Amino acid sequence: MFDAQAIAPTIPTERLRQIAVSACTAAASLIRASRHHEPVQTKSTRTDIVTATDLAAEQLIVETITAAAPGSRVLAEEGGHTVAGDGPHDDVEWVVDPLDGTVNFAYRIPISAVSVAAVVAGRPVAGAVVDVARGETFSSHLGSGATLDDRPIRVGTCDDLALALVATGFSYQADLRREHGRTISELLPIVRDVRAFGSAALHMCWVGAGRVDLYLERDIKPWDYAAGALIAAEAGATVELPCIENAALVLVTNSALRDAVRPRLI
């Protein structure tokens, strides 16, 4: 998916990975200690919420990143954008989701993550995803493979769609929810089962770790998938990202299941 030889950032990719891990770990600690579960604003729809904890975690991540990589840019979900200045690392853009699973957090469901990816020339080159409740750290840098708490992970080997455990999620946009609901209704009778845990980043990492066989969703944003897509790909998964041609689909699985499921997606 990514060519490790084509990109030479001003900061080595292994160091970018370390920065991503540090930023995610710090934000996850903040989230675990936070009691601010109530929504303070909304985004795309009234069900697409932001809490004070999202904002605080994002601020901490931005501060951590800019201290470690001065002059780099930040694209963060809740608005923590910085413009590249005259710093030495303006070739690096950090794509940040400070709390992936905000609705779970608001309902006190212990499934959420922090996701940080370093992107160079439009491609993720390093990233980390930390499971807030479990404290697990998934990470990777380009060409290195992927790890869970520094132990290598690998995508699962299931090649029978009937035995595949599928993870999914749903857009906040009603028309896309309806469309994706039809897709899932077509898949449900022919797979082992379907789960919707509420964190796109964790879904991707769990595919990479062999905990879930296949993940698909429509209408997720770069901060949702930048780190998770790299981690899954480095763990051996095939990763299809959103585009006009695939109606904003994300599909992450092994090559055998991709070939089996792709013709069935509507």
The CATH number that applies at residue 201 is: 3.40.190.80
Q: Residue 21: count other Cβ atoms within 10 Å of its Cβ.
A: 20
State whether 124 and 69 are in the same domain: yes
Structural domain ending residue among the three candidates 125, 152, 179: 152
122 and 149 Cβ atoms separated by less than 8 Å: no
State whether 113 and 50 are in the same domain: yes
Q: Report percent pLDDT > 70 for the chain.
A: 94
Closest CA to 49 of 40, 61, 58, 57: 40
State whether 57 and 166 are in the same domain: no
Residue bearing the bigger pLDDT, 219 or 256: 256
Mean pLDDT of 109-136: 97
Q: What angle do CA 164, 244, 78 make, to 5 degrees?
A: 85
Q: Is the pLDDT of residue 215 over 90?
A: yes
187 and 226 Cβ atoms separated by less than 8 Å: no
Q: Report percent pLDDT > 90 for the chain.
A: 78
| Range with lowest mean pLDDT among 16-30, 115-129, 210-224, 241-255 | 241-255
Q: What is the pLDDT of residue 207?
A: 98
Mean pLDDT of 146-170: 98
Provide the β-strand partners of residue 137. 130
- 141 φ, ψ (degrees, to nearest 5): -135, 160
Mean pLDDT of 219-240: 96
| Domain range for 216 | 161-264
State whether 166 and 195 are in the same domain: yes
pTM for this predicted structure: 0.93
State whether 171 and 227 are in the same domain: yes
Q: What is the pLDDT of residue 152?
A: 98
Structural domain total, the chain: 2
In the 8-state DSSP scheme, what is residue 67?
Answer: H
User: pLDDT by residue (tens digit) across 7-61?
Assistant: 678 899 999 999 999 999 999 999 999 999 998 988 888 888 899 999 999 999 9
Amino acid at 14: E
State whether 202 and 177 are in the same domain: yes
Helix (H, G, I), strand (E, B), or coil: what is residue 119?
Answer: strand
